[in-house]
Amino acid sequence: MNGLIVLGTASDSGKTMICTALCRILSDEGVRVTPFKSQNMSRFSAITENGEEMSRAQFIQAKAARTKPSIYMNPILLKPVADMKSEVFFFGEKFGPIVGMAYREHFFTRGIEAINTSLTKLAETYETVIIEGAGSPAEVNLNDREIVNMRVAEIADVPAILVADIDRGGAIASIVGTLQLLPTEHRKRVKAIIINKFHGDVSLFQEGIEFIESYTGVPVAGVIPYKIDHGIEEEDMDRPVMKAPAGIDVYDAWAKHVKAHLNWPLIKEILSQPGEME
């Protein structure tokens, strides 16, 4: 199964929304596409037709992909409760509450099994998978037992796109720092960079794009302007969703907005590649 993983330089960089757009764009092109996030920590969830609880983000991405939401798209859901504790859901089965360190120590092997099971199951129906990472792949204190970023990319053998949020500032440093902290074999998987939540005239950032590309050797596949009225519920945000203009399909509108600012031929080329290249 072809695909890619969308990683971020930090939480709230816009990974969920980029994945949502890619799911709709590919669906528009007749591709049987599925979202996937191995483990999602969020207080916001949704219920499948079978009564199973999964992350709201992957539920929304499935709708963007024009397919039925499934717990195989999000096999592990962590719902924070209090005092560093979370309820843990494996394929909709509830465990917990469990303290964070206990989860890392006792559920790692089970998490890997869940990833393999889910990807195998999804491959029976879909030809392309759009995988969402979590936080940053450069969180070196977590990498020995992480099951949501580069380890998933390795299991699925897919290339990666790195998303940086320029709205909060420091995007160039966050991109360079993230790539430099990745082990060589992981850095090779990163095939493109997306600058997200841009305000103003993109031509004023051309020198920034040129610096990123020359310094890292990784192409910038797009600079996505900030859009507040997309009308789609975001992954972890308590802030109210600003309604989209009446009479439009919010997924179509968001996909059109993103695609207009992407090097789509480059993204399609990346989708056709294995993750690890010379």
Could you tell me which CATH number the domain at 2-271 has?
3.40.50.300
Q: What is the pLDDT of residue 116?
A: 97
Q: What is the pLDDT of residue 144?
A: 82
d(CA 98, CA 106): 10
C-alpha 199: how far from its chain's center? 22
Binning pLDDT at 50, 70 and 90, where does residue 143 land? Answer: confident
pLDDT at 192 over 60: yes
- What mean pLDDT is predicted for residues 91-99? 77
Written as one letter, the residue type at 198 is F
Compute the mean pLDDT over every residue in the chain, rounded to the nearest whole number.
90
pTM above 0.85, yes or no: yes
d(CA 261, CA 259): 5
- What mean pLDDT is predicted for residues 2-14? 94
Segment among 38-52, 180-194, 228-242 with least mean pLDDT? 228-242
pLDDT at 239 over 60: no
Q: Please measure the distance between the N-terminal and C-terminal CA atoms of the chain and give it in whole angstroms.
A: 20
pLDDT top residue among 145 and 186: 186
Q: Cβ(168)–Cβ(14) under 8 Å?
A: no
Q: Cβ(111)–Cβ(38) under 8 Å?
A: yes
Q: What angle do CA 18, 24, 25 make, to 5 degrees?
A: 85
Backbone angles phi, psi at 124, to 5 degrees: -70, -25
Neighbouring residues of 48: CB distance < 8 A, sequence distance ≥ 6 = 54, 59, 68, 69, 70, 71, 92
Q: Would you call 89 helix, strand, or coil by DSSP?
A: strand
Structure tokens belonging to residue 182: 């990745």
Binning pLDDT at 50, 70 and 90, where does residue 244 land? Answer: low
Q: What is the pLDDT of residue 224?
A: 95
What is the residue extent of each domain of the chain? Answer: 2-271
What number of other Cβ atoms are within 10 A of residue 80's Cβ? 14
Closest residue by Cα to residue 130 from 26, 240, 209, 211? 26
Binning pLDDT at 50, 70 and 90, where does residue 86 land? Answer: confident
Binning pLDDT at 50, 70 and 90, where does residue 44 land? Answer: confident
Q: Would you call 24 helix, strand, or coil by DSSP?
A: helix
Q: What is the pLDDT of residues 105-139, one digit of tens each?
A: 678 888 999 999 999 999 999 999 999 999 999 98
Q: What is the pLDDT of residue 136?
A: 93
Binning pLDDT at 50, 70 and 90, where does residue 82 land? Answer: confident
Q: What is the pLDDT of residue 229?
A: 74
